Protein backbone atom coordinates (compact mmCIF):
# COMPACT_ATOMS: atom_id res chain seq x y z
CA UNK A 1 0.00 0.00 0.00
CA UNK A 2 1.31 3.46 -0.89
CA UNK A 3 2.65 5.80 1.78
CA UNK A 4 3.22 9.55 1.85
CA UNK A 5 4.73 12.14 4.17
CA UNK A 6 2.50 14.94 5.43
CA UNK A 7 3.61 17.90 7.53
CA UNK A 8 1.31 20.30 9.31
CA UNK A 9 3.42 23.44 9.06
CA UNK A 10 3.94 25.96 11.88
CA UNK A 11 0.91 28.00 10.79
CA UNK A 12 -1.33 24.95 11.26
CA UNK A 13 -0.07 24.46 14.80
CA UNK A 14 -0.20 28.17 15.70
CA UNK A 15 -3.73 28.51 14.31
CA UNK A 16 -4.78 25.39 16.28
CA UNK A 17 -5.91 23.57 13.12
CA UNK A 18 -4.05 20.31 13.80
CA UNK A 19 -7.18 18.38 14.72
CA UNK A 20 -9.16 19.67 11.74
CA UNK A 21 -6.37 18.87 9.31
CA UNK A 22 -5.75 15.38 10.65
CA UNK A 23 -9.51 14.76 10.58
CA UNK A 24 -9.69 15.44 6.84
CA UNK A 25 -7.11 12.79 6.10
CA UNK A 26 -8.73 10.32 8.49
CA UNK A 27 -12.19 10.95 7.10
CA UNK A 28 -10.94 10.20 3.61
CA UNK A 29 -9.80 6.80 4.84
CA UNK A 30 -6.04 7.30 4.93
CA UNK A 31 -4.34 5.36 7.71
CA UNK A 32 -1.92 7.05 10.11
CA UNK A 33 1.16 4.84 10.39
CA UNK A 34 3.46 7.36 12.11
CA UNK A 35 3.12 10.75 13.75
CA UNK A 36 5.33 13.13 15.73
CA UNK A 37 5.26 16.68 17.07
CA UNK A 38 8.65 18.31 16.62
CA UNK A 39 10.51 21.53 15.96
CA UNK A 40 12.52 20.86 12.81
CA UNK A 41 16.25 21.60 12.87
CA UNK A 42 17.77 23.72 10.11
CA UNK A 43 19.60 20.62 8.93
CA UNK A 44 16.39 18.61 8.58
CA UNK A 45 14.63 21.54 6.87
CA UNK A 46 17.44 21.89 4.34
CA UNK A 47 17.28 18.17 3.59
CA UNK A 48 13.50 18.22 3.31
CA UNK A 49 13.48 21.23 0.98
CA UNK A 50 16.68 20.37 -0.93
CA UNK A 51 14.69 20.21 -4.16
CA UNK A 52 13.91 23.95 -3.80
CA UNK A 53 17.48 25.09 -3.13
CA UNK A 54 18.32 28.06 -5.36
CA UNK A 55 14.72 29.26 -5.70
CA UNK A 56 13.86 32.80 -4.62
CA UNK A 57 11.69 31.58 -1.74
CA UNK A 58 14.07 28.88 -0.43
CA UNK A 59 15.47 30.88 2.52
CA UNK A 60 11.96 31.89 3.61
CA UNK A 61 10.83 28.27 3.31
CA UNK A 62 13.57 27.00 5.60
CA UNK A 63 13.17 29.80 8.11
CA UNK A 64 9.36 29.40 8.26
CA UNK A 65 9.33 25.62 8.64
CA UNK A 66 11.85 25.87 11.51
CA UNK A 67 10.06 28.80 13.18
CA UNK A 68 7.85 26.70 15.43
CA UNK A 69 6.59 23.19 16.05
CA UNK A 70 5.13 21.06 13.29
CA UNK A 71 3.33 17.73 13.06
CA UNK A 72 4.94 15.11 10.83
CA UNK A 73 2.97 12.04 9.83
CA UNK A 74 3.04 9.14 7.44
CA UNK A 75 -0.27 8.27 5.80
CA UNK A 76 -0.98 5.01 4.03
CA UNK A 77 -3.70 4.05 1.60
CA UNK A 78 -4.66 3.42 -1.99
CA UNK A 79 -2.90 6.06 -4.12
CA UNK A 80 -1.99 7.87 -0.90
CA UNK A 81 0.26 10.45 -2.61
CA UNK A 82 -2.41 11.62 -5.04
CA UNK A 83 -5.28 11.40 -2.57
CA UNK A 84 -3.33 13.49 -0.07
CA UNK A 85 -2.38 16.11 -2.66
CA UNK A 86 -6.06 16.40 -3.66
CA UNK A 87 -7.13 16.91 -0.06
CA UNK A 88 -4.42 19.58 0.39
CA UNK A 89 -5.38 21.57 -2.72
CA UNK A 90 -3.16 23.63 -5.01
CA UNK A 91 0.03 25.23 -3.69
CA UNK A 92 -1.39 28.76 -3.96
CA UNK A 93 -4.44 29.18 -1.70
CA UNK A 94 -6.16 31.43 -4.24
CA UNK A 95 -5.99 28.55 -6.74
CA UNK A 96 -6.86 25.80 -4.26
CA UNK A 97 -10.37 24.45 -4.69
CA UNK A 98 -12.98 25.07 -2.01
CA UNK A 99 -13.27 21.89 0.00
CA UNK A 100 -9.51 21.39 0.09
CA UNK A 101 -7.46 22.17 3.19
CA UNK A 102 -5.63 25.06 1.55
CA UNK A 103 -8.71 26.25 -0.32
CA UNK A 104 -10.80 26.38 2.83
CA UNK A 105 -8.31 27.39 5.48
CA UNK A 106 -5.35 29.35 4.06
CA UNK A 107 -4.63 32.68 2.35
CA UNK A 108 -0.86 32.90 1.76
CA UNK A 109 1.31 30.60 -0.40
CA UNK A 110 4.08 30.80 2.20
CA UNK A 111 1.63 29.80 4.93
CA UNK A 112 -0.40 27.12 3.22
CA UNK A 113 -0.68 24.85 6.26
CA UNK A 114 0.44 21.51 4.86
CA UNK A 115 3.17 19.69 3.00
CA UNK A 116 2.54 16.45 1.14
CA UNK A 117 4.98 14.40 -0.93
CA UNK A 118 4.50 14.85 -4.67
CA UNK A 119 5.52 11.38 -5.89
CA UNK A 120 5.95 7.87 -4.58
CA UNK A 121 9.70 8.19 -5.03
CA UNK A 122 9.93 11.47 -3.10
CA UNK A 123 7.59 10.11 -0.44
CA UNK A 124 10.02 7.33 0.37
CA UNK A 125 12.94 9.76 0.62
CA UNK A 126 10.95 12.24 2.73
CA UNK A 127 9.58 9.57 5.08
CA UNK A 128 13.14 8.38 5.74
CA UNK A 129 14.17 11.96 6.62
CA UNK A 130 11.63 12.04 9.45
CA UNK A 131 11.06 8.49 10.65
CA UNK A 132 13.10 5.36 11.32
CA UNK A 133 11.63 2.11 9.96
CA UNK A 134 10.77 1.10 13.55
CA UNK A 135 8.60 4.21 13.95
CA UNK A 136 6.32 3.13 11.10
CA UNK A 137 3.66 1.16 12.92
CA UNK A 138 2.21 -1.96 11.31
CA UNK A 139 -1.44 -2.57 12.16
CA UNK A 140 -4.83 -3.11 10.56
CA UNK A 141 -7.66 -0.60 10.80
CA UNK A 142 -10.98 -1.98 11.99
CA UNK A 143 -12.58 -0.73 8.74
CA UNK A 144 -9.87 -2.13 6.45
CA UNK A 145 -12.30 -4.16 4.37
CA UNK A 146 -14.05 -0.94 3.35
CA UNK A 147 -11.26 1.54 2.75
CA UNK A 148 -8.01 -0.28 3.60
Phi, psi of 38, rounded to the nearest 5 degrees: -145, 165
Q: Tell me which of 115, 123, 130, 131 binds ligand IDP, using CB under 6 A.
A: 115
Residue span 102-121 as binding mask against Mg ion, x where in contact by CB under 5 A, dash where not:
----------------x---
37 near ligand IDP, rule: CB under 6 A: no
Task: Using alpha carbons, select from 107, 69, 101 the residue that is nearest to residue 83.
Answer: 101
The DSSP H or E segment spanning 76 is strand 70-77
- Given Mg ion, ligand IDP, none, residue 102, with its beta carbon under 5 to 8 Å by kind, binds none
Interatomic CA distance for residues 89 and 85, integer angstroms: 6
Residue span 82-111 as binding mask against ligand IDP, x where in contact by CB under 6 A, dash where not:
---------x-----------------xx-
Which member of 65, 100, 115, 123 is catalytic?
115
Q: Find the shortest distance in angstroms from Cβ 113 to ligand IDP.
A: 9
Q: Which residue is nearest to ligand IDP (CB)?
A: 91
Whether 115 is catalytic is yes
Half-sphere exposure of 137 (CA within 13 A, CB side): 11
- Given Mg ion, ligand IDP, none, residue 109, with its beta carbon under 5 to 8 Å by kind, binds ligand IDP
Interatomic CA distance for residues 91 and 114, integer angstroms: 9
What is each CA distance from 77 to 2, 72, 110, 140, in whole angstroms?
6, 17, 28, 12
Residues marked active site are found at 115
Amino acid sequence: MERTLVLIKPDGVQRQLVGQIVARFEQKGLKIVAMKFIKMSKDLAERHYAIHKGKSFYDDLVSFITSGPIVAMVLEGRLAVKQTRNLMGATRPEEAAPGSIRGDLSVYTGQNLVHGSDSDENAQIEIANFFTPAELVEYDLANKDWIG
